[in-house]
Amino acid sequence: MSTSDSDKVFAGSIPKLYDEYLVPLIFAPYAADLARRVVARAPARVLEVAAGTGVVTRLLASTLPASSSIVATDLNPPMLALAEQIGTARPVTWQQADAMRLPFDDASVDAVVCQFGAMFFPDRAHAYAEARRVLRPGGAFLFNVWDRIEDNEFTDVVVQAVATIFPADPPRFLARTPHGYHDTATIARDLALGGFIAPPQIDTVAFRSRADSAQVVAMAFCQGTPMRSEIEARDASRLGEATDVAARALVQRYGAGPVDGKIQAHVITVVR
């Protein structure tokens, strides 16, 4: 399996750890922000791509009127299965789908929503063209992507700490993929290549990420993301050690007890 392929695999114990640790740590505030933006547009038909374990889906289901239909999709069946198991306030349609080949009709939805999924698309312009294809004229594509890793403090500390264990071949998933698509000019260019004519609205939004302990943060990143697969590929026996090293680095920077660090992302809205 190539690096680009392994970056997209959220399976095994990762989905549960992802939802338990990462969702409250870094995804929840941006999910609320994205859902608020979607609801403000009063869409009748919503398609979510790269829905993960359903954090945005749950918010949309609880805040959009019952008359609004929601279809939530993800490439990884284990993530989607956990999202469906957790459930929503009202029925939504869960469907496995690849954002590169959306199995939906042209001009069939009012909004396409994607929370932190665009960084994983192998051909972003093509994925954006697919989002545009299924949008009705006047519909909107709303998504977010992480800003530079240096502007996301916990992630930066964890990556640097784990690199000390594998100096010859440090795990780079977090820097390479989640934080590898932060240049706003590139995002605007890819949207244009995908056929969007109107310029996108790009807002850079910062929040604070909080956890009860450094160990929670270390678990989130080292064991709740594909970084786990990278560590295990180098030496599966050292996963616990890598997690502990990351936790100690976080304690050194933020102290023992509850920790608090900056997170930052770009939120993009573009209208067909």
Q: What is the pLDDT of residue 270?
A: 98
pLDDT, the chain, mean: 94
For range 257-263, the mean pLDDT: 97
pLDDT tens-place string over residues 231-258: 999 999 999 999 999 999 999 999 999 9
DSSP 26: I
* Burial state string for 50-83 with b = 16 or more CB within 10 A and e = fewer than 16: bbbbbbbbbbbbeebeeebbbbbbbbbebbbebb
CB pairs under 8 A, 24+ apart, for 88-96? 88/54, 88/57, 88/58, 88/61, 88/62, 89/58, 89/61, 89/62, 90/61, 90/62, 90/66, 92/57, 92/60, 92/61, 93/69, 95/71
Q: What is the pLDDT of residue 13?
A: 60
How do 135-146 and 259-271 pair as beta strands? antiparallel
Asked if pLDDT for residue 165 goes beyond 70, the answer is yes
The CATH code of the domain that includes 21 is 3.40.50.150
Inter-residue contact 199 to 188 (CB < 8 Å) = yes
Q: What is the pLDDT of residue 2?
A: 45
Domain count, the chain: 1
Provide the token pair at 161: 């700490």
Provide the token pair at 231: 């560590």
> Structural domain of residue 87, as residue ranges?
3-271
pLDDT tens-place string over residues 7-62: 444 545 677 888 899 999 999 999 999 999 999 999 999 999 999 999 999 999 99
Q: What is the pLDDT of residue 9?
A: 47
For residues 141 and 52, give the distance between their C-alpha atoms in angstroms, rounded to a whole number: 18
DSSP 22: I
